[in-house]
């Protein structure tokens, strides 16, 4: 055989052998992962000293939870996201769950430390990877871009009323939409959203717009009255803060769910009125100029409060 042909076929055979070996490794890895039981998965988690991780619920009782809340009875309410990113960007993929995603209630009725009762509170095709669930008495608030939905329930957890409190969030069928509502010490609702932004007109007729041309930019931290009036931007220009928290003094804290191109994820104290620098002048993102953390060298941009390296972000 011609030496050149011999080298060609040898190289081709080597590449094919490598590809076959790689596929075997990948398939073996998937098989190993698929064989893990929920208990085995739990044992693989590392807890801080003094803490213990135990299994409370697993599939099929809970499937791909996106957010949870605990009610006054100690039950866990779960927003599930099975039909995830199937319509994003004009996609027309078939739903994994044709009836729509679910809001479920998990309960440990016998006190053994594991959920043994599951009730489907809500399921319909308008629920698609909801990012937030909040339970306040007889109100259940679901964050489902473009809407924040309020369900009113009876004592048997049946829905007696459903209304859209506010609408206009972008990030539909996306990780970066509107996130969970938090009940504040002042009786108002606090919530946030990711960088696709919003164009929401509240119940009092006040419009809040976040876009590349302003007046607010990218992700926002917001406050609103329970009746949907007085929607207020507390801070803006985040990438994707996934839910916020209020401390005992009413201060607002959140993590911004992505790094700025420098392999960091930041934890923010949300100072009211603050611009947190995700987009720079002219709508420039951090991906275009990675020299500084979130444009913190620019006048009027909040400094980074805290950064966490090697943090997983979507």
Per-residue pLDDT tens listing for the chain (314 residues): 666 555 555 555 555 555 555 565 555 555 555 678 999 999 999 999 999 999 999 999 999 999 999 999 999 999 999 999 999 988 889 999 999 999 999 999 999 999 999 999 999 999 999 999 999 999 999 999 999 999 999 999 999 999 999 999 999 999 999 999 999 999 999 999 999 999 999 999 999 999 877 889 999 999 999 999 999 999 999 999 999 999 999 999 999 887 666 667 788 899 999 998 888 776 676 666 665 667 777 777 886 656 555 444 44
Reading the block at residue 78, the tokens are 């779960």
- Using DSSP's 3-state secondary structure scheme, residue 277 falls into coil
Burial-class residue 196 by CB neighbours within 10 Å (0-12, 13-18, 19+). Answer: buried
Let me know how long the chain is: 314
User: Could you tell me if 270 and 257 are in contact, meaning their C-beta atoms sit under 8 angstroms apart?
Assistant: no
Beta-carbon contacts of 300 under 8 Å, excluding residues fewer than 6 positions away, are: 275
Chain CA centroid to CA 30, Å: 26
User: Could you tell me if 270 and 245 are in contact, meaning their C-beta atoms sit under 8 angstroms apart?
Assistant: no
Say what the pLDDT of residue 69 is.
98
168-314 folds as Neuraminidase (2.120.10)
Reading the block at residue 304, the tokens are 């980074």
pTM: 0.85
Show me where the domains of the chain are located. 168-314
Per-residue buried b or exposed e for 151-186, using 16+ beta carbons within 10 Å of the residue's own CB:
bebeeebeeeeeeebbbbbbbbbbbbbbbbbbbeee
DSSP symbol at 24: H
User: Could you tell me if 220 and 193 are in contact, meaning their C-beta atoms sit under 8 angstroms apart?
Assistant: yes
**Which strands make up the sheet holding 102-107, listed edge to edge?**
65-70, 76-80, 102-107, 117-123
The whole-angstrom separation of Cα 187 and Cα 143 is 18
């Amino acid at each position: 055989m011609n030496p050149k042909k011999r080298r060609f076929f040898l190289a081709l055979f080597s590449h094919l052998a490598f590809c076959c070996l790689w596929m075997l490794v990948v398939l073996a890895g998937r098989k190993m992962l698929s064989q893990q039981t929920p208990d085995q998965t739990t044992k693989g988690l590392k807890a801080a000293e003094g803490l213990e991780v135990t299994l409370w619920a697993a599939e099929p009782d809970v499937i791909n939870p996106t957010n949870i809340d605990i009610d006054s009875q100690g039950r866990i309410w779960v927003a599930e996201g099975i039909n995830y990113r199937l319509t994003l960007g004009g996609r027309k993929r078939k739903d994994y769950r044709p009836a729509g995603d679910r809001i479920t209630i998990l309960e440990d009725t016998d006190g053994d430390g594991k959920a043994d009762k599951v009730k489907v509170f809500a399921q319909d095709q308008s629920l698609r990877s909801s990012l937030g669930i909040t339970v306040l008495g007889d109100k259940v608030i679901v964050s489902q871009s473009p809407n924040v939905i309020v369900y009113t329930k009876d004592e048997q957890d049946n829905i007696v009323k459903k209304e859209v409190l506010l609408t206009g969030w972008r990030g539909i069928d996306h990780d970066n939409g509107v996130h969970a509502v938090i009940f504040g010490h002042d009786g108002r609702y606090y919530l946030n959203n990711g960088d696709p932004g919003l164009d929401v007109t509240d119940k009092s007729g006040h419009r809040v717009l976040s876009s590349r041309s302003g007046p607010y930019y990218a992700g926002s931290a917001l406050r609103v009255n329970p009746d949907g009036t007085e929607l207020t931007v507390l801070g803006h220009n985040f990438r994707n803060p996934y839910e916020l928290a209020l401390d005992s003094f009413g201060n607002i804290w959140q993590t911004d769910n992505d790094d700025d191109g420098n392999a960091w994820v930041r934890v923010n104290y949300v100072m009211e009125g603050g611009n947190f620098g995700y987009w720079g002048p002219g709508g420039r993102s951090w991906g275009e100029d990675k020299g500084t953390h979130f444009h913190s060298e620019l006048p009027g941009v909040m400094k980074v409060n805290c950064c966490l390296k090697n943090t997983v972000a979507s």
